Amino acid sequence: MSGKLLSGLLNGVLCGIGASGCWKLDPLVQPFGYASCVLAYTHGTLGLIVSLRHAQNCHNPHLCLTRTLMEVGQLTLINVQFCQSSLGSSSPRTLLYGLSMAGLCCLAVKMPKVLVWRTAIGFCNMLCLLCIAKRSDAWGIHLKIALLYALGSDGVHYLWAMARGNSAERLYELCNIGITHLAIGAFLAKM
């Protein structure tokens, strides 16, 4: 399979999973989970459009923005939804976590080349995900999401360093699909 065809297939799957999550989740009951699905749907759609174009070096600034948002924002939204579900929406810890991570995410979007923000966000997200897993019944799902996130961020940087850019992109897309699918399943179980 060619790289563009495989990328189109994986982005189509991400788009479908995001759309399925938007259809199944209630934005008034689980607003952060719904926003996470909208983000996955948008990123999948833009990736699908770029992969269907015939140009080899197609650069889409919107796709770069949604990629940065997927890297730093999707797991943050998922964690805030998990916090809201387990601690309650009026918990000061949920509010503090959401506001502090929103500030870091804004810095990461404004300065996408600075990797310190992404590393800090990734560490905080994984730590929060594992701490929430201690309070939850579905700790296996939280652990799988954390492992997929670690594989998708650190594994991609490792493959880029080995000059295997196409493999890194496919690994990143597969991890996004897995994270979105597991999160939707966890959100639906909490409804």
Write down the pLDDT at residue 159: 64
Tell which residue, 142, 117, 141, has the closest CA to residue 132.
Answer: 142
CB neighbour list of residue 27: distance below 8 Å, 6 or more residues apart: 34
Q: Grade residue 164 by pLDDT with cuts at 50, 70 and 90.
A: low
Structure confidence by residue, pLDDT tens digits, 22-39: 999 999 888 889 999 999
pTM of the model: 0.84
Provide mean pLDDT across the span 132-136: 76
Write down the pLDDT at residue 16: 93
CA distance 80 to 141: 16
Write down the pLDDT at residue 158: 65
Helices (H), 88-164: 92-110, 115-135, 139-150, 156-161
How large is the greatest C-alpha to C-alpha distance in the chain, in angstroms? 50
Write down the pLDDT at residue 58: 54
Structure confidence by residue, pLDDT tens digits, 41-68: 998 888 888 887 755 555 666 677 777 7
Sketch the domain layout of the chain as residue ranges: 3-190
Write down the pLDDT at residue 38: 93
Predicted confidence (pLDDT) at residue 147 exceeds the cutoff of 70: yes
Write down the pLDDT at residue 24: 93
